[in-house]
Structure 1
């Protein structure tokens, strides 16, 4: 019976999040109503609130869904990166970017970031920071792996390098979600140029 209850609970979670993705994209996060979301998920509004305390909780849960999937895909890249710093870093970053709009629209990302900035000490703010930290740690892990393979100069601080690379890809992603007209291809091309310049420096190439 416990296993069946867990299965039903997971199914309700999935239905609520799937409905949230559809509704937030269709109506916009701020305009979407919990009552409409509940109807779409075929649960009661009370059930939605039993699982998520607020609409913001649901939005951050969709962010977590996206980030957990890219972290899983990124782990395989870190384990066996392509040859060359620029290629390896670009492969990881592009994986993040390519997945970024699967669940969230640009408007949803802006709302999620606003939640994390407006209330950094709340559960939502802390969860968003935790997800960012996990992505940053994965970039650091990649740079560490490349240094172990001799592709990053031995004397360089991989922790700081990874944080710099993550901070840049994050800042560029913010520019992307601020501009509804900017395409993913434009974003990736701009970051590739920046990554290429940095790769030359950390590989010690002229």
Structure 2
């Protein structure tokens, strides 16, 4: 088990090793990355590496944890957007935040995706990320149902799993598999799908294609039986 250093200098060195590890893993991949290269990138001796990490695997796990946390932090969403009365705009901001974060971390996410297929500890990092994001999404859907804005028939756990998985897989196809999409259009389309799935409306206008054809606005709390 890696222990956190007590001194400020030790914490700085450990942080440098994490940054250096990320750089080397992105460049060489996990299997080809060498501890000597990571130490050189961090400007520390090979032996110093083991003062902070037990192995290359333990360092990679920490890199993965940091990256996965950034993907779902939503720290770039302005406070006024988080508290807007329009739930569709909140969903749009969250979708954009996730895609932009994934794009910026695409090189290391490619490696994390690969390693998670055969390394249980890294796979658990991904599972924990999904659980945290799923819990947050469930709570949001439940609030929308309580406010009469989302279809009350929806099971929040099923919806969170399905919609969260959709966005995560789309990001993987977009930024790792190389599928050709436009970022702004991707945000719009994912948001429409989310809104339709939950039965939401945007400024009184339904996102459902069938309801949108109606000449009269459909109240947010009205659902077909």
| TM category, shorter | 0.7 to 0.9
Q: 1:20 and 1:188 mapped to 2: Cα distance?
A: 32
**Conserved 8 A contact 1:66-1:99:** no
Q: 1:151 and 1:202 mapped to 2: Cα distance?
A: 8
Structure 1 residue 168 corresponds to structure 2 residue 169: no
1:103-132 residue CA offsets vs partner (Å, 9 max, x unmatched): x343x212211221223xx32222222122
Residue 192 of structure 1 corresponds to which residue in structure 2?
A: 188
**Conserved 8 A contact 1:60-1:112:** no
User: Which residues in structure 2 correspond to 1:136-155 (within 5 Å)?
Assistant: 136-155=134-153
Q: 1:152 and 1:72 mapped to 2: Cα distance?
A: 24
Residue 110 of structure 1 corresponds to which residue in structure 2?
A: 110
Distance 1:148 1:7, change over 3 A: farther
Higher relative contact order (CA 8 A, sep 6+): 1
Q: 1:82 and 1:162 mapped to 2: Cα distance?
A: 21
Aligned length: 196
Higher mean C-alpha deviation, range 125-134 or range 172-181 = 172-181
Residue 52 of structure 1 corresponds to which residue in structure 2?
A: 53
1:181-200 residue CA offsets vs partner (Å, 9 max, x unmatched): 746xx255235314303413
Distance 1:145 1:100, change over 3 A: same
Q: 2:168 and 2:8 mapped to 1: Cα distance?
A: 36
Residue aligned with 1:155, SS = coil
Q: 1:54 and 1:7 mapped to 2: Cα distance?
A: 22
> Greater CA radius of gyration, 1 or 2?
2
C-alpha RMSD of the superposition: 3.1
Residue 15 of structure 1 corresponds to which residue in structure 2?
A: 16
TM-score, normalised relative to structure 2: 0.71
Q: 1:4 and 1:85 mapped to 2: Cα distance?
A: 43
TM-score, normalised relative to structure 1: 0.76
Residue aligned with 1:10, SS = helix
